Amino acid sequence: MSASQIMAEFDDARLEDPAALARADEVLRRVAGAGARIRIEAEKSAEPIASLEPTKPRAIIAVGTEARLVRAMLEPTCPVPFVAWPRHGLPGWVGPLDLVVVMAPEGGSPDLVATVHEGVRRGCMLLIACPPGSAIAEYAGSRATTLLPTCTGDPLAVAVQMFHALSRLGLGPDVDPQQVADAMDKVAEECSPFVDLAINPAKDLALALADSQPLVWGGSVLAARAGRRVAEALRAASGRPALSADADELLIVLDAASSRDPFEDPFEQVVSDRRPVLLILDDGLGAEAVHVARNRLIAMAEGRDVRVSLISHHDGSEIERYAALLATGWFAAAYLEVGLTADDDFDRR
């Protein structure tokens, strides 16, 4: 995102302009192709996953890309202790009774390769998703290793296959990659550039966020995880701040928002004056505390004249809802960038 794009005014006409949308074709196609990438990875890893049998390790240690997403999915139901390990190496107690889960869709860093090598040296069971010709695949060879070959480089598509494998092992909830892909395809249809702004949820959301500072909140563990990913996409698309945080932290930011001046000139607005917009990611999951926190956020926003926008997906499994929330947010970020980009130098993320 260039400095000129950061300072550009949002033009909603670009969201219906074929030329402007054509400049964003690569980004929009990448988001729309998420379901297809899940199917490609499912076909690639079908054989090794089919060979898996239920097992019960002493503990599971997840490392690499999306380790925290694996934790968010498994912790509520996993029958054994689970650790998402963000650092180089493995905890000192890890050994042959433990399962090390590794996702490295792009082949992995030298530190991750060394961590896998350490797991092999200690005799751990390893479940690894990575390209067949990568350094991690080379160092992971052992009788206790199951390799899920990957080819798309898409972290979410690879994570879906890992969840499918873990469900086959009896260590996580049932996950059907085809249903997750269908959920993302449905979002791609609803948010297509060929769907009019009036009925396109992603274009409508981009319009709501056009001149604002997004405050993103998801109540359930997975919705909160999606919120962080959506905030990252919004920052990359606009070059502006976008905050994803817990309810208590967002309440402080909302409370500090001054009431809107009905006489202010929107054309004289500067970056520091951008008002917050509360973006809620709702997957219909979570305990009563989630509903209480949501009501508090909405009440505070309404009391400060802060707009509230919603991405809501209540159908399907937990991972289907997560994927749908994420896809909608990604489309909105793409349209936000379209609206802020006036020239032919569209920054392809």
What is the rounded distance in angstroms from the CA atom of residue 234 to the CA atom of residue 226?
A: 12
Task: Judge residue 237's burial from the number of C-beta atoms within 10 Å of its C-beta, 0-12 exposed, 13-18 middle, 19 or more buried.
Answer: buried
Backbone angles phi, psi at 78, to 5 degrees: -60, 130
**Mean pLDDT, range 127-133, rounded to an integer:** 94
Delimit the domains of the chain by residue range.
Answer: 3-24+193-340, 36-176
Query: What angle (nearest 5°) sits at the alpha carbon of residue 188, between those of residues 334 and 223?
Result: 75
**Angle of helix 34-50 versus helix 318-340 axis, rounded to 10:** 150
In the predicted structure, residue 155 carries a pLDDT above the cut 70: yes
In 26-67 the beta strands, taken as DSSP E runs, fall at 60-64
What is the rounded distance in angstroms from the CA atom of residue 87 to the CA atom of residue 280?
A: 31
What pTM was estimated for this model as a whole? 0.90
> Model confidence over 186-236: pLDDT tens digits?
999 999 999 999 999 999 999 999 989 999 999 999 999 999 999 999 999
Q: What is the dihedral of CA 57, 62, 66, 68, to 10 degrees?
A: 90
CATH class, domain 36-176, is: alpha beta
**Which residues make Cβ contacts (< 8 Å) with residue 113, sequence separation at least 6?**
135, 136, 139
What is the rounded distance in angstroms from the CA atom of residue 42 to the CA atom of residue 37?
A: 8
8 Å CB contact between 67 and 103:
yes
Amino acid at 4: S
> Model confidence over 266-314: pLDDT tens digits?
555 544 468 999 999 999 998 899 999 999 999 999 999 999 999 999 9
What is the rounded distance in angstroms from the CA atom of residue 294 to the CA atom of residue 84?
A: 27
Describe the chain by its helix, strand, coil percentages, rounded to 5.
Answer: 50, 15, 35
What's the pLDDT at 341?
85
Q: For 3-24+193-340, which CATH superfamily applies?
A: Glucose-6-phosphate isomerase like protein; domain 1 (3.40.50.10490)
What is the rounded distance in angstroms from the CA atom of residue 194 to the CA atom of residue 216?
A: 27
CB count within 10 Å of CB 226 equals 29
For 231, the token pair is 């905030």
Label residue 16 by pLDDT band (50, 70, 90).
Answer: very high
Edge to edge, the sheet with strand 243-244 lists: 243-244, 212-218, 275-282, 307-312
8 Å CB contact between 98 and 57:
yes
Tokens 């869709």 belong to 105
In the predicted structure, residue 262 carries a pLDDT above the cut 70: no
Q: Is it true that 3-24+193-340 and 36-176 share their CATH fold?
A: yes
For 220, the token pair is 């359930």
